Amino acid sequence: SSHSYDYDMVVIGGGSGGLAASKESANLGMKVAVCDFVTPTPKGTTWGLGGTCVNVGCIPKKLMHQSAILGGELKDSREYGWDTPETVTHDWGRMVEAIQNHIGSLNWGYRVALREKKVDYLNAYATFTDPHTIKTVDRRGKEKIITSDKFLVATGGRPRYPDIPGAKDHTITSDDIFSLPHAPGKTLLVGASYISLECAGFLAGLGYDTTVMVRSILLRGFDQQIAEKIGTYMEQHGVKFIRGAVPTNIEKIEEGTPGKLRVTAKTTDGEEVVGEYNTVVVAIGRDPCTSGIGLENAGVDLAKNGKVVVEKGEQSSVPHIYAIGDVMEGGLELTPVAIQAGRLLARRLYRKDSLQTDYVNVPTTVFTPLEYGCCGLSEEAAIDKYGEDDIEVYHSSYQPLEFTVAHRPENDCYAKLVCVKSENEKVVGFHILGPNAGEITQGFSIGLKLGATKADFDNLIGIHPTAAEIFTTLNITKRSGKDVSAQG
Ligand code: FAD
Ligand code: NA7
């Protein structure tokens, strides 16, 4: 295209969404630049190209979850004939090094991919100065002015700190934990988001004394019956919960690594709770990275929560400025969603495709010690939408075969389908709590997308012996009140 701008497309943010969009736009012949700059955390932690998922999100958390899972399987292994020692030890530093090495190779791979696709990579912080111009500032303070026909804001989000004394000085967040050079020791996690519970799960699994401080409910937005089951399981596996409390003050009472912190908290009945921990991780939500980047100079409308308001097609209030991923209002904060949105946006802009990103029935998994996979509506959201009388819930506890010989408890794992009676029992909610839930949920989610009914699930032939086959034999409704304990 002929124009007077430096680029056809400048992408701000080299994370999941931004990289996908920049590579696809370049594939389609556009002149593209991507700016990615990581502002260090209050502790000074920083990282390479690739954004949240690769550096301080999905990837390191799944690997730490795996490290914890292996500890459990080492115990099982004795029941399976292995002479695994009764006491095995875990080396935090070695795990962090191995995981960070993997991340380093991913960072490198992204740089190479951008170079191969002829996308200009600017390791610099971008700020809008007018609707077609940004200023970039690199680590050494070097400035550059860049103009572009179109912009994509894909700046993601960062952890929020509570507004209490000591928070920024003494606590860490998910931005620090995955590269923490020393073992965390006795740890308090504040918040009951999936990020908090996942971190608590792997820390407890690795052998650390772990406490979660919950303000109200677990996993707001997720199916609450399953959220409670996750909490119960974690409690039975060593995670302590302080319910109905928020921290009010955090002070350092012992220097050193990790040192010691005193946390004062207040419960909803006004009581004061004091505890001492080596590490405090706050995971109370994330703020979109939309402040201080000059969006007001470009005239882009933001929602009250700071996210970019978009119309259909991820278009902001300024037609040539788009937003995807975690900064987009009304989206889902998930890596594959950001990637899909970036790729499809580029194809609509530069290949005249019409396919829009579908934000409905997106499957996801919470990687707590027992994993929770879901797709579609929670039971409460389904009841809200269709009314209690029109919802039939089929459910069962189950025990994966692998748990039997290992003598693990029988009724921890759970499966349920939420169906709409008036629509031929169409399945609108799929839920599974158990090992490998993500692997199971991914496949079934296409069934939900295609409108599968309960009869379709009943008619499906299982794969034996698997956990997933439970979905082909669900015959107890929740309404019946019948016992759903696993029957061997
Ligand atoms: P990001 O990946 O956050 O990328 C934004 C980039 O822009 C960053 O590199 C940032 O430094 C940069 N940037 C910001 N402002 C500027 C600026 N002005 N100039 C230049 N660069 C800038 N999702 C899943 O699907 N599965 C999971 O299991 C999962 N686990 C997670 C675990 C944790 C602990 C966290 C925190 C998140 C997890 N997520 C998970 C969510 C997932 O990481 C995000 O949804 C995804 O990374 C969003 O991608 P994005 O492109 O919107 O932004
Ligand atoms: P969420 O989902 O926004 O959850 C934040 C959690 O932190 C939640 O449990 C909150 O409790 C809790 N919270 C919030 N503020 C405080 C304070 N001040 N003190 C103590 N606890 C607090 O978190 P994420 O950002 O991790 O997840 C983002 C999205 O990713 C999420 O929406 C999912 O769709 C995927 P509350 O329930 O409000 O009482």
pLDDT of 172? 98
pLDDT at 487: 59
464 catalytically annotated:
yes
Closest CA to 438 of 292, 346, 326, 334: 334
CA-nearest residue for atom 25, ligand 2, is: 285
Joined together, the tokens standing for residue 16 give 């999941």
Instruction: Using the structure block, give the residue that is written with the tokens 């904060």.
Output: 333
Ligand 1 neighbours by CB, cut-off 6 Å: 12-18, 35-38, 51-53, 56-58, 61, 125-126, 154-156, 174, 195, 289, 293, 325-326, 333-336, 338
| Closest atom, ligand 2, to C-alpha of 332 | 34
* Number of C-beta neighbours around residue 194 at 10 A: 24
Q: Which of 163, 215, 217, 335 to mutate to test the pocket of ligand 2 (most atoms within 8 A of CB)?
A: 215
What is the 3-state secondary structure of the chain? Answer: CCCCCCEEEEEECCCHHHHHHHHHHHHCCCCEEEECCCCCCCCCCCCCCCHHHHHHCHHHHHHHHHHHHHHHHHHHHHHCCCCCCCCCCCCHHHHHHHHHHHHHHHHHHHHHHHHHCCCEEECEEEEEEECCEEEEEECCCCEEEEEEEEEEECCCEEECCCCCCCHHHHCECHHHHCCCCCCCCCEEEECCCHHHHHHHHHHHHCCCCEEEEECCCCCCCCCHHHHHHHHHHHHHCCEEEEECEEEEEEEEEECCCCCEEEEEEEECCCCEEEEEECEEEECCCEEECCCCCCHHHHCCCECCCCCECCECCCECCCCCEEECHHHECCCCCCHHHHHHHHHHHHHHHHCCCCCCCCCCCCCEEECCCCCEEEEECCHHHHHHHHCHHHEEEEEEEECCHHHHHCCCCCCCEEEEEEEEHHHCCEEEEEEEECCCHHHHHHHHHHHHHCCCEHHHHHHCCCCCCCCHHHHHCCCCECCCCCCCCCCC
Q: Which of 132, 182, 407, 464 is catalytic?
A: 464
Ligand nearest to the CA of 359: 2
Tell me which residue has its CA closest to atom 30 in ligand 2: 333
pLDDT at position 486: 65
Q: Is the pTM of the predicted complex or chain greater than 0.95?
A: yes
Measured from the Cα of 13, ligand 1's closest atom is 7
Which protein residues touch ligand 2 with a CB less than 6 Å away?
162, 190-193, 195, 215-217, 220-221, 246, 283-286, 333
* pLDDT value for 268: 94
Q: Profile the chain (488 residues) by mean pLDDT over runs of 10 residues.
A: 84 98 98 98 98 98 98 97 96 98 98 98 98 97 98 98 98 98 98 98 98 98 98 98 98 95 97 98 98 95 98 97 98 98 98 97 98 98 98 98 96 97 98 98 98 98 98 98 80
Give the ipTM of the model, two decimals please: 0.96
Mutational pocket test of ligand 2: of 160, 211, 220, the residue with most ligand atoms within 8 Å of the beta carbon? 220
What is the whole-number distance in angstroms between the Cα of residue 325 and the centre of ligand 1? 8
Residue nearest to atom 24 of ligand 2 (CA): 285
| CA–CA dist 212, 232 (Å, integer) | 13
At residue 441, the pLDDT reads: 98
CA distance 358 to 229: 30
Give the position, in ligand 2's atom list, of the atom nearest the Cα of 194. Answer: 26
Query: For a substitution probing ligand 2, which of 284, 287, 366 has the most ligand atoms within 8 Å of its CB?
Result: 284
> pLDDT value at position 485?
87
Closest ligand to residue 160's CA: 2
Joined together, the tokens standing for residue 89 give: 């030890």
Position 3 scores a pLDDT of 66
Which bound ligand lies closest to the C-alpha atom of 330? 2
Length of the chain: 488
Q: Which ligand is nearest to the CA of 19?
A: 1
Taking CA atoms, 133 is separated from 5, 9, 27, 128, 188, in Å, by: 9, 11, 24, 6, 44
